[in-house]
Amino acid sequence: MARLHALARRLVGGDAEDVVQECLFRAYRSFSQLESQEAGREWLTSILLNCCRDHWRARGRRLEEVELDEVDDFSLFRKIADEDPFPYSDSVHVDFLHQFGGEDVRAILASLPELYRVPLVLVHMAGYHVKEVAFMLEVPLGTMLARLHRGRKLFERELWTYAEQHSLLKEGAGR
């Protein structure tokens, strides 16, 4: 239950509890479709994803590709090296990441379009293999990898933008 809720928090933010409640109802109703106990984790996650999709649809959010050409070439590594926000640090890249707390990360994830946030969260936070995620999202592996790549680049760019906007680029600003 904690795992489902943590995943939902990263996908739908403050509406996580409602989405998990709906997921439990649907899982209970379709329990007979669960093929084996080993498949339970992925099965529940797939139901949760469907609940999230319905949640976004109900709010008029459309899961469409968006034009983000410039983000594909963004490199947070290069940006930090070029801007050098902590000139007295020997580990400026690691120090940069240490500025962010849990609330910051949740806010940054929430700012990403769902299309890119979902694969990012499922692969890098829920620990699914990219092939499992492609299967759950019912998209070809190549499509999933392209969205994941874009999601990671967007996340990198938003980390930098958020840090600038929230004055995290100062020595001693860490959380």
Partner 1 sequence: MISCSEAVKQLWDYLDGVVEESQREVIEEHLGFCRRCCGELEFAEELRGFLTSHAEEDLPPDVRSRLTATLEELGRT
Residues that bind partner 1 (CB under 8 A): 1-2, 5-6, 9-10, 17, 20-21, 24-25, 28, 72-73, 75-78, 81, 93-94, 97, 100, 102, 105, 120, 123-127, 130, 141, 145, 148-149, 152, 155-156
CB of 69 to partner 1, least distance (A): 13
Asked if residues 19 and 30 have their Cβ atoms less than 8 Å apart, the reply is: no
CB of 2 to partner 1, least distance (A): 4
CB of 83 to partner 1, least distance (A): 14
Helices (H), the chain: 2-12, 16-29, 40-58, 76-83, 92-97, 102-111, 114-124, 130-137, 141-165
Is 6 or 60 the residue whose CB approaches partner 1 more closely?
Answer: 6
CB of 60 to partner 1, least distance (A): 26
Q: What is the DSSP letter of 127?
A: -
How distant, in Å, are the alpha carbons of 19, 27, 38, 56, 144 from that of 33?
Answer: 20, 9, 13, 25, 26
- Residue 132 neighbours by CB distance under 10 Å: 18
Is 33 or 62 the residue whose CB approaches partner 1 more closely?
Answer: 33
Distance (Å, whole) CA 148 – CA 130: 9
Is 21 or 165 the residue whose CB approaches partner 1 more closely?
Answer: 21
Is 77 or 171 the residue whose CB approaches partner 1 more closely?
Answer: 77
CB of 16 to partner 1, least distance (A): 8
How distant, in Å, are the alpha carbons of 55, 62, 104, 108, 124 from that of 120?
Answer: 19, 18, 16, 12, 6
Is 10 or 55 the residue whose CB approaches partner 1 more closely?
Answer: 10
